[in-house]
Amino acid sequence: MPQAPTTITDEIGIALHNLADAAAAPFTPTLRLGVTGLSRAGKTVFITALVHDLLTGGKLPGFGPLAEGRLISARLAESPDAGIPRFAYEQHLAALTGPAPFWPESTRRISELRLSLRFRSRGWLGAWSGPATLNLDIVDYPGEWLLDLPLLSLGFAEWSAQALARARRAGAPPEAAAFLAAAGSLDATAPASEPDAQRLAGTFTAYLRASRSDRHALSALPPGRFLMPGDLEGTPALTFAPLPPPSSTPRHSSLYAMLERRYEAYKDIVVRPFFRDHFARLDRQIVLVDTLRALNAGPAAVSDLESALTDILACFRQGDGSPLLRLVSRRIDRILFAATKADHVHRASHDRLEAILNRLVARAARRAKFAGATTSSVALAAVRATREGRAGDLDVIIGTPEAGEVLDGTTYDGSTEIALFPGDLPASPDAAFDAAAPIELRFLRFLPPRRLERNDEGEPLLPHIRLDRALDFLIGDRLK
Amino acid sequence: MRRPTAIPMPEGSAAPAAGARPPRAFAPSDVAPVTPQVESYSEPPPAEAALPPPPRPRWLVRMLWTTAGLLVSLALGLALDALLANLFAASPWLGWAGLAVLALFLLAALALLVRELAALWRLRALDRLRARAAAILLDDNLDAAAAVLAELAALYAPRPDLARALARLEAGRPQLFDGAELLRFAERTLMAPLDARARALTALSARRVALVTAVSPRALVDIAYVVWESVRLGGAIARLYGARPGLWGAWRLLSAILGHLAVTGGLVLTDGVVEQLVGQGLAARLSQRLGEGVVNGLMTVRVGIAAMRVVRPLAFTTEPAPAVRDFLSDLAGALRPGETA
């Protein structure tokens, strides 16, 4: 039986928080934007580009409030939560816009940022009340942690069955066999011993890490803290692994019972607070999906990405509640699904990229629509790393691949610019899931753009693809 | 399906596979960078049915008018011929002078005709542009949107007042990848300043009409003034949006505006009955003359709104469509003492 993701106490806490926000709303309304995406989907770059473009009034012709001249200014405001580190916007921007630009390192801890937007409303009320303010709260976190959310509704036995089935399937890396052998050699009903648990957890972690490499690019790999442990490394809560169901009812002192306790502790200590504090109270959500990386690795990675996204998105509270109910229960009423890194394909392929994205999130989108949320999808690049060109009869993209990227035996050094034709995306999105007929595609990682344009104040302007449209969908209606 | 192949430099050595083309890498020197290019785009004329076509005169009536015109032309030709013959009979140089004047007259008439035809063509081009833009908003075709944008830019290129808006449009364009987005951007950039001026023109006309009606001694004077002001307003708004209608153009425009008003039954689409009632109530509370002034002013406002809808090359999507209620405060202000200036 699926368990509820939160306890009664959590629910009361969430409702009280929402009430407090609702009380402050008439003065400065707050919009909590959930930037959702698995690791390497581009959350940090998206947030950095979004904040930078809003702060500098960058090139956002499709963002209504800015195009209509109603957005007066934006500034970084004091973070509302003193216990959470501030999003290192300045460092990330320096990385992207320096003389030798590089992508920000992968996120290792949670951080938060509040952006205050000052604007004039277009309605008749706006003419009386003058400029209004909207606070935009954005949270950045390691994408691996997101994988834990589906665990909230799974017991140890169910999770074990799922995890073992995943380890046994065809596309799994060789490390899975070592883990399965270790799990098979242990007697789950025998008395618990710490070395056994550590050995098992060690092989399990090695298998998870191997699955994540670019060659396999698998996504559904909970628990997420095994991949990005943070300061919990080595604690009992992170020393467990799935076990096959025991033949008899395990005793309290058995290995099975101990790992089950640790699994529940992991959920209580790690997952539930993360969910309660950051995901239970969102207004808008953008789901960043790195479709190209999964396409690079093949159909197994694509279908794995699909199931991971569907499971994760099921945990969010979506729907269009009544205004009265919204006082105590916040719901996500707009969801944007975004295929990131759209600059890695020519604009002629954007439609197909969007079609594949729609196919990937179809189940999640249907559920969100049923709940009453508005959804949309877009192929975007928060920072555009390439230009477009034409070689012969091929539409190519021109950029500098990262050092170490390989295509057909040529290893690039990170300073030569090349024109790449990455192959045709399939016309029918279902072809991406078809293991019988793999598609010929190869996407390289490109370095961030050099020699950026600058605006009148000398601030660099980050080129992008459809970031303005995404912004307009996500927050444009709250700036009307 | 072929394996991904990396062919170093030589161009065209990899023959593309039949269906999907394999990935390839090129040196940038072999590549011609492209800026997004506008292809010449032609589309079958869309079945535009927003406004019902004006009723066609029946063939008998048409024959009557045609034959009458023919007869008048024949009479004119005969008269001219007789005039020239008389002039030549009086004196040869008088005859030559008459002939020269006639040639000049014909030339001027021809030039006028060409101008009128051009004006009519421009009006029709605006209609076509609007229909195409409406289709693009649905199917999101980037090339078609670029073509519409190029036509808009060509239409407004001679206008000094739109130079800045056109420059902004050009600067924002490379950032947009969707046809519908491109059109919305064009509407925000190009149409918004024109809308503001069209509204100002409408408000000004309405105030003038209200004032003239309130002080005019005879009802006939008001009616004449309302008609004259409406024609003037329609022409001014059409010129503002780039239509520059001539004599026939103005006639066609007026019939389009009246047709629009007839279709909407005097109620502009975005208005509710409430505004109408407010208008009536406001009128009743004031004295009779002032009330008539407000009613005539409202009529002018409706003409202005209809003109905006008829000649604007892009339909209202991102910008708020004009509504009668936007002008109520202007009208009330016109009739309040001390604010009439």
What is the overall mean pLDDT for chain B?
78
Query: What six digits make up the tokens of A360?
Result: 């990937």
Classify residue B108 by burial, with Cβ atoms within 10 Å: 0-12, 13-18, 19+: exposed
Percent of chain B whose pLDDT exceeds 70: 75
For residue range A387-396, what is the model confidence (pLDDT) as tens digits?
Answer: 888 888 888 8
Mean pLDDT within A418-442? 83
Question: Predicted confidence band at B34 (pLDDT cuts at 50, 70, 90)?
Answer: low
Cβ-based contacts of A421 with chain B (< 8 Å)? 21-26
Higher pLDDT, B145 or A221: B145
Query: What six digits make up the tokens of B10?
Result: 């030589």
Selected for mutation to probe chain B from A292, A383, A439, A442 (highest B CB count within 10 Å) is A442
Question: Predicted confidence band at B101 (pLDDT cuts at 50, 70, 90)?
Answer: very high
pLDDT of A404 = 84
Length of chain A: 480
Query: What six digits make up the tokens of B268?
Result: 């502009």
pLDDT greater than 50 at residue B12: no
Residue keyed to tokens 């925000």: B188
User: Among the listed ranges A411-420, A464-473, B244-253, which one has the minimum average pLDDT value?
Assistant: B244-253
Classify residue A265 by burial, with Cβ atoms within 10 Å: 0-12, 13-18, 19+: middle
For residue range A94-135, what is the model confidence (pLDDT) as tens digits?
Answer: 999 988 899 998 888 888 999 999 998 877 666 677 888 899
Identify each DSSP E strand in A81-131 by its residue range. 111-119
A423 at interface of B, judged by CB pairs closer than 8 A:
yes
Element holding B277 (H helix, E strand): helix B273-285
Please state whether A276 falls in left (phi above 0), alpha (psi between -120 and 50) or beta.
alpha
Contact A179, A241 (CB under 8 A): yes
pLDDT greater than 50 at residue B314: yes
Question: Predicted confidence band at B44 (pLDDT cuts at 50, 70, 90)?
Answer: very low
Find the Cα–Cα–Cα–Cα dihedral B132, B136, B139, B141, rounded to 10°.
110
Find the Cα–Cα–Cα–Cα dihedral A394, A397, A401, A406, rounded to 10°.
-20
Cβ-based contacts of A68 with chain B (< 8 Å)? 188, 192, 318
Cβ-based contacts of A66 with chain B (< 8 Å)? none
Selected for mutation to probe chain B from A440, A452, A471, A479 (highest B CB count within 10 Å) is A440
pLDDT of B59 = 86
Q: Cα–Cα distance between A180 and A321 in angstroms, integer?
A: 46
B22 at interface of A, judged by CB pairs closer than 8 A:
yes
- The whole-angstrom distance between residue B120's C-alpha and the CA centroid of its chain comes to 10
Mean pLDDT within B282-290? 62
Cβ-based contacts of A468 with chain B (< 8 Å)? 175-176, 181
pLDDT of B76 = 92
B5 at interface of A, judged by CB pairs closer than 8 A:
yes
Cβ-based contacts of B20 with chain A (< 8 Å)? 423-424, 426, 439-440
Among B22, B33, B34, select the one facing A440 at the smallest CB separation: B22
Element holding B45 (H helix, E strand): none
pLDDT greater than 80 at residue A364: yes
pLDDT greater than 50 at residue B270: no
pLDDT of B13 = 37
Contacting B residues, span 179-208, partner chain A, CB-CB under 8 Å: 181, 184-185, 188-189, 192
Question: Predicted confidence band at A33 (pLDDT cuts at 50, 70, 90)?
Answer: very high
In sequence order, the 6+-apart residues with CB closer than 8 A to the CB of A167 are A176, A179, A180, A207
Mean pLDDT within B160-164? 90
Mean pLDDT within A209-215? 82
Residues A419, B177: C-beta atoms closer than 8 Å: no
What is the β-pairing status of strands B32-33 and A387-391?
Answer: antiparallel
Q: Cα–Cα distance between A362 and A368 in angstroms, integer?
A: 10
B28 at interface of A, judged by CB pairs closer than 8 A:
yes
Contact A159, A151 (CB under 8 A): yes
A457 at interface of B, judged by CB pairs closer than 8 A:
no
Q: What are phi and psi of B271, to 5 degrees?
A: -90, 145
Mean pLDDT within A153-162? 89
Closest CA to A138 of A174, A92, A86: A86
pLDDT of B4 = 54
For residue range A313-322, what is the model confidence (pLDDT) as tens digits?
Answer: 888 888 776 6
pLDDT greater than 50 at residue A299: yes
- The whole-angstrom distance between residue A314's C-alpha and the CA centroid of its chain comes to 14
Q: For A345, which residue in chain B has the nearest alpha carbon?
A: B23
Cβ-based contacts of A392 with chain B (< 8 Å)? 11-12
Cβ-based contacts of A452 with chain B (< 8 Å)? none
A299 at interface of B, judged by CB pairs closer than 8 A:
no
Q: For A349, which residue in chain B has the nearest alpha carbon?
A: B177
Question: Predicted confidence band at A17 (pLDDT cuts at 50, 70, 90)?
Answer: confident
Cβ-based contacts of A456 with chain B (< 8 Å)? none
Mean pLDDT within B281-301? 72
Contacting A residues, span 354-393, partner chain B, CB-CB under 8 Å: 387-393
Residues B172, A61: C-beta atoms closer than 8 Å: yes
pLDDT greater than 50 at residue B48: no
B25 at interface of A, judged by CB pairs closer than 8 A:
yes
* Sheet with strand A284-289: strands edge to edge: A71-77, A111-119, A132-140, A30-37, A284-289, A334-339, A374-379
Residues B26, A422: C-beta atoms closer than 8 Å: no
Residues A389, B23: C-beta atoms closer than 8 Å: no
Q: Cα–Cα distance between A301 and B303 in angstroms, integer?
A: 62
Residues B4, A441: C-beta atoms closer than 8 Å: yes
pLDDT greater than 60 at residue B75: yes
pLDDT greater than 70 at residue B40: no
For residue range B107-159, what is the model confidence (pLDDT) as tens digits?
Answer: 999 999 998 888 888 888 888 898 999 999 888 888 899 999 999 999 898 88
Q: How many CB atoms lie within 10 A of CB A34?
A: 20
Instruction: Classify B265 as helix, strand or coil.
Output: coil
Classify residue A88 by burial, with Cβ atoms within 10 Å: 0-12, 13-18, 19+: middle
Closest CA to A180 of A163, A167, A197: A167
Closest CA to A408 of B19, B14, B28, B20: B14
A101 at interface of B, judged by CB pairs closer than 8 A:
no
Task: Please tell me whether the overall predicted TM-score, pTM, comes out greater than 0.90 for this model.
Answer: no
Residues B26, A396: C-beta atoms closer than 8 Å: yes
Q: Cα–Cα distance between B109 and B121 in angstroms, integer?
A: 18
Q: For A383, which residue in chain B has the nearest alpha carbon?
A: B175
Contact A48, A385 (CB under 8 A): no
Contacting A residues, span 324-343, partner chain B, CB-CB under 8 Å: none
Among B28, B176, B189, select the one facing A419 at the smallest CB separation: B28
Q: For A463, which residue in chain B has the nearest alpha carbon?
A: B175
Classify residue B311 by burial, with Cβ atoms within 10 Å: 0-12, 13-18, 19+: buried
Residues A407, B4: C-beta atoms closer than 8 Å: yes
DSSP state of A446: B
Q: Cα–Cα distance between A227 and B242 in angstroms, integer?
A: 63
pLDDT greater than 60 at residue B50: no
What is the β-pairing status of strands A111-119 and A132-140?
Answer: antiparallel
